[in-house]
Amino acid sequence: MAHVHVPERIEKLVSTLRQWQKIEREVVESCASIMEKTKNARIRQFMETIRNDSAQHHRLQQFLVDSLTKEQIKLTPEELGEVWDEITAHDEVERKTIELAEECKEECRFFVQRALLDYLITDEEKHDQLLQSLEEFKKNIYPYG
């Protein structure tokens, strides 16, 4: 099996991320176009949500490109320690929002509202997942903490 050199892997990854960014820009434009063509509040809300998510994806992809081409992502134990209590408190709030959203979904019998509640639950779970990745990092730098 041929080994791919690290610079070639990075170049391919950056190229793929840039292709993905192009698609995200197209999604943003498409959603805006659809929103201009309808007055329906449901369709507009769905398209606005997708547009905003795609714009955020584009920014995150750029962060990844920059971390591969300009400056590596750094996080020191001291930096994490400075805000750890606040991160922990924030994670508790995120988990509470998931509970509340699930409670709402359980009571809701309307298709559109349930679909939006599902979306919100998934989004809140993603926030929790991001915070858990910091927890994993903390465990790796503080094996006993």
What's the domain count of the chain?
2
Average pLDDT, the chain: 93
What percent of the chain is modeled with pLDDT above 90? 83
- This prediction has a pTM of 0.83
Which residue segment(s) compose the domain that 92 sits in? 75-145
Shared domain for 47 and 62, answered yes or no, is yes
- The residue type of 14 is V
118 and 91 part of one domain: yes
Identity of the residue numbered 56:
Q
Q: In this structure, are 13 and 68 located in the same domain?
A: yes
CA separation for the pair 46, 125 (Å, rounded): 19
Compute the distance between CA of residue 108 and CA of residue 50 in angstroms, rounded to an integer.
23
111 and 46 within one domain: no
CA dist., res. 94 & res. 86, Å (int): 12
Same domain flag for 25 and 51: yes
